A = this chain, B = another copy of it.
C-alpha cells in the first residue's frame, strides 16, 4: 500500500485520554503571581473559566498563587492529582516529570518549549521525559504547546487569554499552541460558530492526533472536527482514527509542510516527520476526510458544517443579481464538483410569471430584471425560494449586490426561505457597500445561514457539504 510508505507500524495501543479534558484535579508547575510570566495565566484561566475541579499551584518559593495554596513540588501535594500542567524552563522539566511519577498522576501537559525542536542536547530532555512517563504509565501532551481546553467544564491548561468563551460544536486539534490560541481568539470574535474542545499537540512526544481524534469522535459536544497538521508520526494509526471519526462526523484537515520550504520550517518547529503531499491527499479522500488548503478554507468549511445541513446531492441552484455572479458561480460549481441543476418546468414557469415576456428563466438565474419587476424582498422570495424549492436542486448560492442607497430587508425573506427548506443548504455572497454587507452578514449568520466574502468560497463550502455523505457512504476496504 503506497500510502503507508515512511510510516512506522503502530503499537495499536488504544487508550482513553478523556482525563486530559475532564480531570477532577490539576496541578500547575510554574504557577506564579508574576503577571509577566505565562505560568500566571494558566491558573488565572482556570479561575476565570470557572473550572470546578481542584487547582494546585506548584511554585518553589510562593505559599499561594492567585489566592490558592501553593506547593513546592507535585509529589508534596497531599491530595489526588490527575493532570499536571508544566511551564518551567526545559532543563527543569525532567525532574518535574519524575515528581509526577512519584505522585502517580495520569497525565502531564508540557507547555514549555526548548526540547526536540531546539535540537542539540535538548533532544535528550524530551527522551528522558518520555521514558520516565512511559515507565510510570503517564500520558504526555506536548511539549511545546498550550495544551487543552474544554469549553463545557471550563478546564484548560492554556496560558493564552481566553475571554468571551462560547461553547459550540466544532473541535479543533492543532499542532502548535499559539496558533491554536490565535485561531481560538479568531473563532470566538469573528466566526458564527463556537468550539467544543481544543487540543494543541506540540511535539507530540506521546499523545497525538489519533488519540485526540478517537476521543473527539465519541465526544457528544463535538459535531465537526478540524485538524491543523504539520506531520504524522504514525500514519497507520492516524488514518485508522480518521476513518473511524469520519464515519461519525465531518473531519477537516489542514496540512501544511507540503513544499520543501514548508517541510524545512515544520521540521525545525515541531520536529515532525512529514508525509509526501500527494500521498496524503489520496489518503484523506480514501478515509473520508476533507482536506483544505489554508486556514481560511478551514474556517469556511467549519462554518458550513457547523451551521448547515449536509447536501443530499450535488445539484446547485444559482441566483445572482449580477450576470457576472452567474458566470463565476457556474465556473466554480464545475471546479468544486457541483452540477448546475436543470430547473423543473414548474419553477421556470413560476418565476417567468413575474417577468417581462421576452425573458427566459434558467439556472444560473440572473435576477436583475426580477428585482426591477417585483422589488428586492419579493425578488429574493421568488428567485432563491423558487430555486431551493425545486426538486432538481440540492443546494443553492445567492449573490446580491448591496447598494448604499437601497437598504432593503434581506433578513426577513431569507428567514422564510430557510424555514421552508430546512434540509437544503445554501450560502450567500454580498458585494457592494461594506456597511450593508456587514449588517446582512451578521443578520444571516445569526440565523445559521453562512455568508462568504467571495462567490468561490460560497460554492466551495456547498461543494464540501455535498461531498461528505458520498465519501462516508462509499465502501471502505478492510485491507488497511
Residues of A within 8 A of B (CB): 113-114, 117-120, 122, 160-161, 163-164, 174-176, 178-179, 181-183, 185-186, 188-190, 228, 230, 256-262, 264-266, 268-270, 293-296, 318, 321-335, 339-340, 356, 358-360, 362, 364, 366, 368-369, 401-406, 431-435, 437, 453-457
Contacts and interface: CB of A to CB of B under 8 A. Distances in A.
A120 B175 CA distance: 60
B324 A455 contact: no
B358 A324 contact: no
Contacts of A160: 403
A258 B329 CA distance: 11
A457 to B, nearest CB: 8
Contacts of A188: 433
A274 to B, nearest CB: 10
Nearest to A359: B118
Contact of A404 (B161, B318, B362): B161
A364 B331 CA distance: 36
A455 B331 contact: no
5 contacts: A179-B323, A179-B401, A186-B431, A230-B327, A294-B456
Given A330-B265, A456-B294, A259 B324 contact: no
Contact of A262 (B117, B190, B327): B327
Given A179-B431, A182-B401, A295-B455, 6 more contacts: A161-B403, A163-B405, A176-B324, A185-B403, A188-B433, A262-B334
A328 B269 contact: no
Contact of A189 (B264, B332, B404): B404
A87 to B, nearest CB: 12
A223 to B, nearest CB: 23
A402 B161 CA distance: 10
Contacts of A258: 331
Nearest to A401: B182
Given A323-B270, A433-B186, A178 B296 contact: no
Contacts of A175: 323-324
Contacts of A262: 327-328, 330-331, 334
Contacts of A453: 296
A119 B318 CA distance: 21
B189 A434 contact: yes
A168 to B, nearest CB: 16
Contacts of A269: 323-324, 326-327, 366
Nearest to A321: B178
Contacts of A454: 294-296
Contact of A322 (B178, B324, B328): B178
Contact of A328 (B256, B339, B359, B402): B256
A434 B190 contact: yes
A400 to B, nearest CB: 9
Contacts of A405: 161, 163
A6 B457 CA distance: 32
A-B pairs with the 9 shortest C-beta distances? Answer: A262-B331, A182-B401, A179-B324, A259-B334, A189-B434, A269-B323, A161-B405, A261-B330, A190-B434
A329 B264 CA distance: 12
Contacts of A404: 161, 163-164, 185, 189
Contact of A401 (B114, B185, B362, B406): B185
A276 to B, nearest CB: 14
A35 to B, nearest CB: 10
A433 B185 contact: yes
A264 to B, nearest CB: 7
Contacts of A339: 261
Contacts of A161: 403-406
B230 A324 contact: yes
A60 to B, nearest CB: 21
